[in-house]
Chains A and B, each alone.
Chain A
Amino acid sequence: MQGSLVDHTSLLLLGAGLTLWFWGSWPLLENRSYLSKLHALSVADTLGSALMLLGLLLRIPGQWPLLTLALLGLIVWNTIFGYVLAACSLPARDSTQAGEQR
Chain B
Amino acid sequence: MTVLLWGMVLALLIPIAVACRPTNVWHRLAAFSSVSSKVALIILVVSVGRGDWMLGLVGVIVLSAGNAGLLLLANLLREVER
A residues with a Cβ closer than 8 A to B are 11, 14-15, 18, 21-22, 25-26, 28-29, 34, 37-38, 41, 44-45, 49, 52-53, 56, 59-60, 63, 66-67, 69-70, 72-74, 77-78, 80-81, 84-85, 88-89, 91-93, 97
Chain A hits for B78, CB < 8 A? 88-89, 91-92
* B residues at A contact (CB < 8 Å): 4, 7-8, 11, 14-15, 17-18, 24, 26-27, 29-31, 33-34, 37-38, 40-41, 44-45, 48, 53, 56-57, 59-60, 63-68, 70-71, 74-75, 77-78, 81-82
Contact of B34 among A45, A72, A74, A93 (CB under 8 A): A45
Chain A contact residues: helix, strand, loop or mixed? helix
Determine the distance from Cα of A41 to Cα of B74 in the docked complex, in whole angstroms: 17
* A60-B48, A73-B64 given; A37·B30 CB < 8 A: yes
